Amino acid sequence: MITDTSIFALTSSVDLANKIAEKLNTKLSDIKVEHFEDGEILVTPQESVRGRSVFLIQSTCPPVTERLMEVLICIDALKRASAREINVIMPYFGYARQDRKAFPRQPITAKLVAELLQTAGANRVVTIDLHATQVQGFFDIPTDDLTSVPLLGNFFETHENIDMENVVVVSPDHGGVKRARNLADILNTPLAIVDKRRPRPNEVEAKNVIGDVEGKTCIVIDDICDTGGSLCAACQILKDKGAEKVYAAVTHGVFSYDAMQTIQNSVIEKLVVTDTIPLSEEQMKQCNKIVQVSVAEMLAVTIDAIQNHSSVSRVYDKYLHKKLAI
């Protein structure tokens, strides 16, 4: 149970925040977000937060910069309203892919966003599956980078009629090996890696598959699906190498451009994605291969743990077959 706490939802995460509040047996606090004709944003809490611990829920999904500005303005409003502590729950951390200088004169925007959140007045940030876990090091305040891997693994174990003896978990590239290994450990399956190159963004050249996938059911896991080009190409490589069926699991479904059509026309049997980024009914109608699972309970337990000064690691207990209680 949480007390002396206010939970606010901004525009991108209202549905998710309502689910979280329901899990916590509480209600969302009232807040007003206004977007003016010239593009300026005004965020005004509609109730007192003086001396309270505040949790602000917002994914910085498209339009990313607009969502980010809502968060920064809201933090400033809460700080000026004398909130005791401001916790930013940002399930999808926009700009996380700009975490290094890949080419000369490029910015490191993930670092800039971290500094903006801190300067605005955030006391803690909670995210899910940062593109690079090292982004946590850009913050000088407590930062919890949760992972949806146990949740996704639990889905395949309990909802799909899959012979786990015939499953191989696959990383779509070398950078995602740790994530794929974690899922393979949870499901107790072998691991394979797609060795590919990207000559241009969202274009993939197949090189090889490291591991045995012939006749296997493959589960490809990644953190982000943007246009779907890279993910679908990796799945096609597996099919070409003899995989019987190919499933995919992704934490953040950005689904920009014609991603839905790309996935619908791909060899993917089913794509499981979390609700860190909301999907509209129209999007879901475009692709019947997508199944969405909620991170609401995971975030509710995290909020409860932060507020009651207990271990955040228990958030994973349910998905590792242990008892979970708020």
φ/ψ (deg, to 5) at 251: -75, -55
Cis peptide bond prior to 63, omega within 30° of 0: yes
Cβ(45)–Cβ(78) below 8 Å: yes
Query: Residue 193 pairs with which residues in a beta bridge?
Result: 171, 210
Cβ(271)–Cβ(225) below 8 Å: yes
Helix (H) or strand (E) holding 65: helix 64-80
* Catalytic residue annotation: 196
Beta strands in the chain (DSSP E): 5-9, 31-35, 41-45, 53-57, 85-90, 124-128, 143-146, 167-171, 191-197, 205-210, 217-225, 245-253, 268-274, 290-293
3-state helix, strand, coil in the chain (%, to 5): 35, 25, 40
Residue in this structure with the two tokens 């309270």, named with its chain if needed: 52
Residue type, 41: I
- The packing angle between helices 177-187 and 149-159, to 10°, is 40
